[in-house]
Amino acid sequence: MNQYYITTPIYYVNDRPHIGHCYTTIVADVAARFQRLIRGSDADVFFLTGTDEHADKVVTSAAEHNVTPQEWADRNAAEFRRAFAACNVSFNDFIRTTEPRHKDRVVEYITSLLKSGDIYRGQYTGWYDQGQEEYVTETAAREADFKSTINGKPLVKRTEDCYFFKLSKYQDALQKHIETHPAFVSPPSRQAEILGRIRAGLNDIPISRPVTSDPATQWGIRVPGDDANRVYVWIDALFNYLSVVDTPERRSLWPAAVHLIGKDILWFHAAIWPALLMALRAAAPAYEWVKLPHSIFGHGWWISEGMKMSKSLGNFISFERLTAYADRYSLDAVRWFLATQGPLSGADADFAHAKFIECYNAELANGLGNCTSRVSNMIDKYFGGIVPPNDHNAEFAPQPGGGSPIDLALAARAAAKNPAAAGSEARAFHFPETIAFHVKRAIEDQAAFDMSASLMHVTEIVRFVDDFISHTAPFTLAKTMNTNPDAKPALAAILYACAESLRVASLLASPAMPTKMAHLWRDWSCAPPPNVALVELARFAGDHALSPGSRLTKGEPLFMRADPAEAPPTEKA
């Protein structure tokens, strides 16, 4: 199986982590954990996140806090690391763009592109706000009647030396690549927007900023051979995906499988980044390995209680607010909610308290949690907490008039539901086949990067088991155990099928809820062994199935029911 390299954006260190950063990073984590599970190995999966530190706004906020930009970056990069650790994110590497291993590579890349001519020195002309010491776009200048929006003084037309990247040269190649690789810009709804912009024509783009006596302009990587210019932060940042794996040991990880990002930064990733890679590959034989990533996945936006998140509206979901949810409902419940209800497919998603509670109660407390409790309680009560024998083949197809206790249980249920049609309504439950179907589909959904669909197979399995329990009514069957010698083996077959199905559901749930599922595996003595691929692990009653005779402890309920009337958790002061 191919190697799988997944990245998140690298986050600006002027800000503190919030739901958006945690969301992208948790979704990437679920995908990475799923790929490790599918392969039964950590070796070929590489998950990168990190921080983007050379932005001008880092200098500004550092000054506001009376520290140097590097100190400010150190402090906030540590905050991001802390937040991601608290979210149980299993990244393989965390890159900070101020690290020499990154900066040195950027200098090498720019040097090659200068040599090949795809980066060239030219002149940039634009409207300049002298008070703010910054350029204003043509549109913004016109809207402001060519005056500074800050001090009202006229903007001046200014020309200065600058380095450009020949983006225009790659217009046709980019267009062709996107047209012939439908998964390159994902989800598909985002493709038209990018293609439209490319077809409209591409200009070369400035990729440097001047260095002056203003300290704000001194933060960043210098253009090689020219100390009066520094590399524009976006170009520096994009290169992180390559610089981290540009070592002899890691080069085989390239190209990335998925660059997961928010829709805000799609253009940089779906147009400028591939063009830079094409240019680098063409620049020197040493960059022959620099192919294009498989997919740029631009997810939608989290809003909050129906509105754009804003600190002034009081609906901002900070990292601390998420932590308060995790403290009350468990971190894994938060991860589950983000991964299944998030804006992955494109449309924005609402972080509304009522919606969180509804999802939590339906899928976790009353779903997976309740079903595992029911089954382990029955195994505790009827089999002394020991996994019952699995003598039945887990095909529960009632025979009309069949005499086994399972047939009778199924038929009795059907008769109770519709006395006129006794037998005909009885439903068959084919466990091995149904479970294999969900496992296969969950893997396919991962390949399509559909987290929600993939995780919904957990819920589907739980429904299947719940349905089976209500059809076979094992608690009724148990009442006949003293009088009917066939009742106990029937009960064993029913409960084994339920527990074994839930074991498989727990495997599929584990990338989103690693801690809770590890608890279940401990209680049920079924922790998956290392180095076994998911299809093997998940084979119903296969080599890694629940083993009859082993301990299955009731344990604590996985998820306590939430009270919808309780006030939403708030961050601690």
How would DSSP label each residue in 235-259?
Answer: HHHHTHHHHTT-STTTGGGPSPSEE
Cβ proximity to ligand ME8, 9 vs 224, nearer residue: 9
Stretch of residues binding ligand ME8 (CB under 6 A), selected from 17-25, 149-157, 371-379, 523-531: 17-25
- The Cβ of residue 213 has, within 10 Å, a number of other Cβ atoms equal to 6
Give the residue, chosen from 4, 6, 21, 278, that forms a contact with ligand ME8 under the rule CB under 6 A.
21
Q: Are 289 and 254 in contact (CB under 8 A)?
A: yes
Cβ at position 279, least distance to ligand ME8 in Å: 17
Tokens representing 69 are 């930009």
Give 52 or 332: the residue with its C-beta nearer to ligand ME8: 52
Shortest Å, Cβ 501 to ligand ME8 = 34
Select from 113, 261, 414, 461 the one that contacts ligand ME8 (CB under 6 A).
261
Rule CB under 6 A: say whether 109 interacts with ligand ME8.
no
Nearer to ligand ME8, 84 or 524 (CB): 84
Half-sphere CA count of 140, side-chain side, radius 13 A = 12
Which of 242/364 has CB closer to ligand ME8?
242
Closest contact distance (angstroms) between CB of 243 and ligand ME8 is 11
Candidate ranges 15-23, 39-47, 218-226, 288-296; the one touching ligand ME8 (CB under 6 A): 15-23
Nearest to ligand ME8 of 304, 376 (CB atom): 304
**Which part of the chain contacts ligand ME8 (CB under 6 A), choosing from 9-17, 216-224, 437-445, 517-525?**
9-17
Is residue 84 at the binding interface for ligand ME8, with CB under 6 A as the rule? no
d(CA 225, CA 303) in angstroms, rounded, equals 45
Nearer to ligand ME8, 24 or 35 (CB): 24
Q: Is 124 exposed, middle or buried (0-12, 13-18, 19+ CB in 10 A)?
A: middle
Q: Does residue 164 bind ligand ME8 (CB under 6 A)? A: no
> Alpha helices, DSSP H only, in 40-116?
56-64, 69-86, 100-116
Near ligand ME8 in 283-302, by CB under 6 A:
301-302
303 SS3 class: strand
Binding of ligand ME8 by 52 (CB under 6 A)? yes
Which of 4, 5, 12, 524 binds ligand ME8 (CB under 6 A)? It is 12
Is 339 among the residues that bind ligand ME8 (CB under 6 A)?
A: no
Q: Is 327 left (phi over 0), alpha (psi -120 to 50) or beta?
A: alpha
The two three-digit tokens of residue 523, written as one number: 């209680």
Instruction: Rank residues 21 and 503 by Cβ distance to ligand ME8 and give the closer one.
Output: 21
Binding of residue 236 to ligand ME8 (CB under 6 A): no
- Cβ proximity of 146 and 127 under 8 Å: yes
Per DSSP bridges, beta strands 302-304 and 349-351 are parallel
What is the residue type of 282?
A
Under the binding rule (CB under 6 A), the answer on residue 17 touching ligand ME8 is no
Residue 224 sits in the site that holds ligand ME8 (CB under 6 A) = no
Closest CA to 545 of 388, 395, 430: 388
Q: Print the binding letters for residues 301-320 with ligand ME8: x by CB under 6 A, - otherwise.
A: xx------x-----------
**β-pairing verdict for 185-186 and 295-299:** parallel
- Which CB sits closer to ligand ME8, 262 or 293? 262
Q: With binding defined as CB under 6 A, does residue 102 bind ligand ME8?
A: no
**DSSP secondary-structure letter at 450?**
-
Q: Is 91 in the site for ligand ME8 (CB under 6 A)?
A: no
Give the residue, chosen from 4, 5, 6, 10, that forms a contact with ligand ME8 under the rule CB under 6 A. Answer: 10
382 binding ligand ME8? (CB under 6 A): no
Cα distance between residue 301 and residue 309, in whole Å: 10
93 is a site residue for ligand ME8 (CB under 6 A): no
Angle of CA points 476, 482, 485, to nearest 5°: 95
| CB crowding 494-529: b at 16 or more within 10 Å, else e | bbbbbbbbbbbbbbbbbbbbbebbebbbebbebebe
Distance between CA atoms of residues 5 and 566, nearest Å: 42
* Of 97 and 148, CB closest to ligand ME8: 97
265 binds ligand ME8, rule: CB under 6 A: yes
274 touches ligand ME8 (CB under 6 A): no
Cα gap 359→338, rounded to integer Å: 11
Q: Which of residues 238-257 bind ligand ME8 (CB under 6 A)?
A: 238
Residues of the shown chain interacting with ligand ME8 in the complex, contacts defined by CB under 6 A? 9-12, 20-21, 23-24, 52, 237-238, 261-262, 264-265, 301-302, 309
